[in-house]
Chain A
Amino acid sequence: MVQPKFKVVVLFAVFVLPALLLYSIFFLYPFVQGIRISFTNWDGLTPRTPISMPQAEFESTILNRVSSVADRDFLLATYQLDASDNQYKRLYVTGLARYRLQRILRRIGYEPQSYRVIGFANYVQIFAGKVEQRFYPHMFTKTNFNEDSDLPATIPRTEFERKFLPNLTNADDKALAEHYYALAGDAYALQPQFNEFNLEDRIWLLPEVATTKRVSSESVDAFITSVKTAGLSKDSAALAGQVSEFLRDNTFSAASAAEVTAAARDIYGLGALKKMLAESWTDRQFEMGVVGFTIFFTFFTVLLSNLIAFFLALALDSGIKTQKVLRSVFFLPNVLSMIIVALVWSFVFYNLLPKLTGIELWMGDAAKAPWLIVLVQVWQQAGYLMVIYLAGMSNVPTDVLEASSIDGATFGKRLRHITLPLLVPAFTICLFLSLSNSLKSFDLVYAMQGPSGYATGTVPFVMDIFFDAFAKKQAGLGTAKAILLFLLIALVTGVQLSISKRREVQL
């Protein structure tokens, strides 16, 4: 039956247009707007059409440059002069009026200072390595001691023996370090006679300072600080100068003066060790940065959640009695929102695990945090993927499996030659879903850590974008990053899908 062409077209439109329109309005149009924002220096706060402006500026930069009478009238209806402070103030505009206003301002070339089109500058900045260093993977030298601080009471043994001593080339330095710090249990402890607080107390507790208060605490403080400085630069002449000056400016008994000199020499002596600790107790480490963490997170969540899901499916497809109940159990985390998931795990990390294991630091430990976030994401996602694998497995004909098992094929062989090939479509879809989910994951880290994730190096790409756009007031830059992420996701999932499809065909 052949229908008249126009009827076909009308029907096509009736069926397709609702979805297409909604999609265009709420997805495509904002997307195009997003692309536009990525080419501006917008700060995320400046309105595109100014809300208030001094009278003279408004007239010269806007009003007088509008040629059309209708537009001028429209402008004057939207902006009203507030005579009390000579400002033109805009009424709240929305909908078509807002678009008309934007169009008028665009036509006369007016751009707010923080909402200007700047071309590819945001993109150039990202590729030239000009955004925050923490965005990129980089090497970082971690210094474990700040030379101006007090000497640590203890240094863990592994730190001392692996990260500090080997960096000392000079044998005298090594001897000095071991003179100050002695092994006690699994840490090196500062010998009591070098306790800085006690050394300083030899001056602070002198009768002239503590009892008669003839010597002010300001001058003691200044003196000790200068002795420390001299110690750090190993400047013995400066030490001698400071001591004699201090003794000259303040009146001390002979005994006290001797004590000042002795204590100052000991405090001065700590400087050599402090300098050594600050310079040599370091470790050079690799920082993943936002980009690196996103890759790390995506790689491990995709790998682990698919592996675990696959093995769960295999176990629950074996005919055990409780398989239906267990399926729901494993699927359960998936019906919880990411916010709930994050809260549940915060309970576990703060309240439960420390009590169970005696280890205090979990999310607060930069070495563990990236793995814990992967763990939580895997926990949440694996049940969902498991269901897809289960579905794939139910497509494997049981008679083939039984026949092969009678022929003596081992479990491993059956898995490799019968089950796996038939599961390739399920792999394809699971990889696609887990890849794009992981790359777009936001709620989880946002709820678990917020911006503090920068300190543990666990900020994913999308959260960095969110932080840029609003907290840092760099919406243009943030959106440019988002566009790059979009291209990355499109590329990664595109490559994955095309490889998987080719394999499906080959099999």
Chain B
Amino acid sequence: MKRVLVLLILAVVLAGTVSAQSLEMYYYKQEIQAGLKTLTDAFTKENPGITISLLIVPNDADATMSARAAAGTLSEILEMQSYSRVFEYAQKGYLVDLSKAPVMAKVIDSAKPAVTWNGKQWAVPMDFAGIGIVYNKDIFAKYKLQPPTTYRDLERVVKTLSDNGVTPFAGLLKENWSIGHFITMVHTTLLAEKKIAAPQFVADMNAGKTTFGVVDTGKLFSVIDFYKANMDTNAQEMAYSEQASAFAAGKEAMMVQGLWSYGAAIDANPNLNAGFIPFPVSNTASVNKFYADVDSTFGISSQASAPKQAAARKFIEWLATPAAVKIWTRDCKLTSDFKGADQSALKSPFGDLMGTVGKNGAYPWAFSMYPTNVFEDGAKNGALAYVFGKKTAADVIADMDRMWAESLKK
């Protein structure tokens, strides 16, 4: 025992002191941790004085980030979800106003609403992500299936697949976030069927003028039931990794997911031949669009000291350079929100996304615009509880409305 202690103390003394001053970057996109490392290393190489250490919080990133914000220990560079999360931190004063930063001029205009609160920009939009159906082209070809453009087509595809013993959708019901995306995606398309734009709906909810049940709720929940009924039978045991690797292995023909999952799938099976289409909620083909928007954004903590803020700004500015964009698209496998960015490193499903969005437009991520609690608890937990039979459809809607009203009181 004594010897162990002496050895340990010796080791501690030898280890010496901490290295030079550095920035810390907080991120939640765990799937790009290797890419981010390449990105920050490349930055340090060009700017030898500044090192950036990466801080991952893989679960409940927001919980930990709020605890640190409240305690004054925020990292200097913050990766945040677009819209509400940025707005929330901006409103409380934790973010530096980046409106006048030169980099904002390089951001494509359509990405700016995701970071604009009170007329100013509080973060740099980094990637444009779409949620839809990633489908296995080989399986579709085998059964002579065309990518569906209407709900009826989708039902037909699903029927053909099930009749041939292929599971249509890769399951993910062990975690609540994916089904949370799903319910809001269907909801947003159903809003469009009623000719209500998502930002308008959010504004009306904020004004207390409408309800989450303004759409065809029968259809909303029947699509959820349809989705669940055609998933793997053990979907309740499947988390994100299981979903992506099962899909990559060709166990299922489709995966309703954001395109960020493509990286994980292609890692599991480099020969995967996949395409990407909007989830067709409606039987009117033109109503079906990608659920796509700015996903991650980078902001700077206002609580950082002036020299650190300056260093962090340097990093943020550097992100728009071709070298940085190249690493971002190649190693993080994400699209870029900068004007004229070279996206050629991205594989074909990204082409599907960008091409379709360019042609038909996209629905913005309504869930990012909801008050955070409404999405975190109302949508994610509500939809999962519905799927598990622990909540009725009416309860899910009533809870969304109640939580929304509560969040307005603050």
Contacts and interface: CB of A to CB of B under 8 A. Distances in A.
Nearest to B74: A92
Contacts of B389: 142-144, 366
Contact of B390 (A365, A457, A472): A457
Interface residues of B, number: 64
B93 A470 contact: no
A29 to B, nearest CB: 14
Contact of A150 (B66, B92, B226, B284): B226
A25 interface: no
Interface stretch (A10-18, A178-186, A354-362, A483-491): A354-362
Contacts, number: 166
Interface string B67-89: 10110100000000000000011
B305 A92 contact: yes
Interface in B133-168: 150-152, 155, 159
Interface string B200-229: 000000000000000000110110011001
A197 interface: yes
Contacts of B380: 451
Nearest to A147: B218
A399 B154 CA distance: 80
A152 B229 contact: yes
A450 interface: yes
Q: Report the contact-size class of chain A (Cβ under 8 Å from the partner).
A: 35 or more
Given A144-B389, A360-B237, A364-B237, A452 B88 contact: no
Contact of B174 (A141, A452, A470): A452
A44 to B, nearest CB: 5
Nearest to B301: A92
B283 A149 contact: no
Of A43, A114, A354, A363, chain B has the most CB atoms within 10 Å of the CB of A43
Interface in B232-266: 233-238, 242
A15 to B, nearest CB: 24
Given A146-B225, A364-B173, A471 B62 contact: yes
B176 A92 contact: no
A46 interface: yes
Interface in B329-351: none
A454 B69 CA distance: 26
B206 to A, nearest CB: 16
Contact of B237 (A363, A366, A469): A363
B244 to A, nearest CB: 14
Interface stretch (A59-67, A213-221, A300-308, A429-437): A213-221
Contacts of A466: 63
A143 B389 CA distance: 7
B305 A217 contact: no
B60 A471 contact: yes
Interface string B375-408: 0110011001101111011000000000000010
Given A361-B236, A363-B174, A350 B242 contact: yes
Interface string A222-256: 00010000000000000000000000000000000
Interface string A458-469: 000000001101
Given A197-B159, A450-B175, 7 more contacts: A45-B66, A52-B93, A217-B150, A217-B284, A218-B284, A365-B236, A473-B407
Q: Which 5 A-B pairs have the closest CB atoms?
A: A364-B236, A51-B93, A148-B218, A470-B63, A221-B283
Interface of A: 41, 43-47, 50-52, 84-85, 89-90, 92, 94, 98, 113-114, 140-144, 146-150, 152, 197, 204, 217-218, 220-221, 225, 287, 349-350, 354, 360-366, 446, 450-452, 454-457, 466-467, 469-473, 475
